[in-house]
């Protein structure tokens, strides 16, 4: 499965690209400033590179219909939420992506454990891919593809990016939900060297290393 085959086109990253579009800066997070410093300096030094794609255009009505769906499909919407009152429209792009990958996928709910079933791919819903804190919204284990949301907090973004061997994409929409954007976030070895066990070192040492451009 090549998820990028679904993308309509790649678009240029703006010269004044703001790394904060990759997450929701209004969300609370542990060590928020330190994590932001790590992302900011890693991007400025080319340790993290970002590519931007359009997954779908003129999509507002379809996303609205997904948001209004009830039954088992809505159970999936609820399971994909990061917090209870997260807006349904934030989740709709993930449902759209799954439908594009396999329009015939089904949902099973065995003793309260929801599973997406497809003959084309396997997917995990909001797993902890590092066994601890890194929680993308959807994860394709065979392909090692993690897909997060621009509505996640920066701590979760860093946790996901710190997992080696995983391709990371971040999905979001424009203000009127008429375009679905996908950011592909690539990291090189230097990032993993700094980010490894960052939870234990996130205070002064990690912050100073980022601020001193040592990554």
Dihedrals phi, psi of 61, to nearest 5 degrees: -65, -40
* Structural tokens at position 25: 């800066």
Q: What is the mean pLDDT of each run of 10 residues along the chain (215 residues)?
A: 92 90 86 86 92 95 85 83 89 95 90 85 94 92 97 94 95 87 95 71 57 58
Under 8 Å between Cβ of 124 and 143? no
pLDDT of res. 141: 96
pLDDT of res. 199: 53
Whether the model clears a pTM of 0.85, i.e. scores above it, the answer is yes
Domain spans of the chain, in order of start: 52-114+124-184
pLDDT of res. 109: 80
3-state secondary structure of 172: strand
pLDDT of res. 95: 94
pLDDT of res. 1: 78
- Tell me the sheet residues that pair with 185: 50, 168
């Amino acid at each position: 499965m090549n998820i990028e085959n679904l993308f309509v086109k790649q678009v240029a990253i703006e010269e004044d690209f703001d790394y904060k579009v990759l997450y929701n800066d209004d969300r609370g997070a542990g060590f928020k400033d330190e994590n932001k410093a790590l992302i900011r300096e890693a991007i400025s030094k080319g340790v993290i590179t970002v590519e931007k794609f359009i997954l779908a255009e003129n999509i507002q009505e379809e996303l609205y219909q997904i948001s209004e769906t009830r039954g088992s499909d809505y159970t999936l919407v609820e399971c994909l939420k990061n917090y209870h009152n997260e807006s349904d429209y934030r989740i709709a792009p993930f449902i759209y992506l799954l439908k594009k990958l396999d329009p015939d996928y089904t949902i099973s709910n065995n003793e309260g454990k929801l599973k997406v079933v497809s003959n084309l791919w396997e997917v995990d819903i909001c797993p902890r891919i590092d066994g601890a804190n890194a929680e993308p919204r959807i994860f394709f284990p065979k392909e090692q593809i993690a897909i997060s949301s621009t509505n996640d907090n920066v701590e979760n973004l860093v946790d996901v990016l710190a997992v080696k061997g995983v391709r990371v994409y971040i999905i979001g929409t424009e203000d009127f939900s008429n375009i679905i954007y996908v950011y592909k976030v690539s990291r090189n070895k230097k990032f993993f060297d700094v980010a490894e066990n960052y939870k234990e070192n996130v205070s002064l040492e990690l912050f100073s290393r980022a601020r001193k451009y040592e990554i």
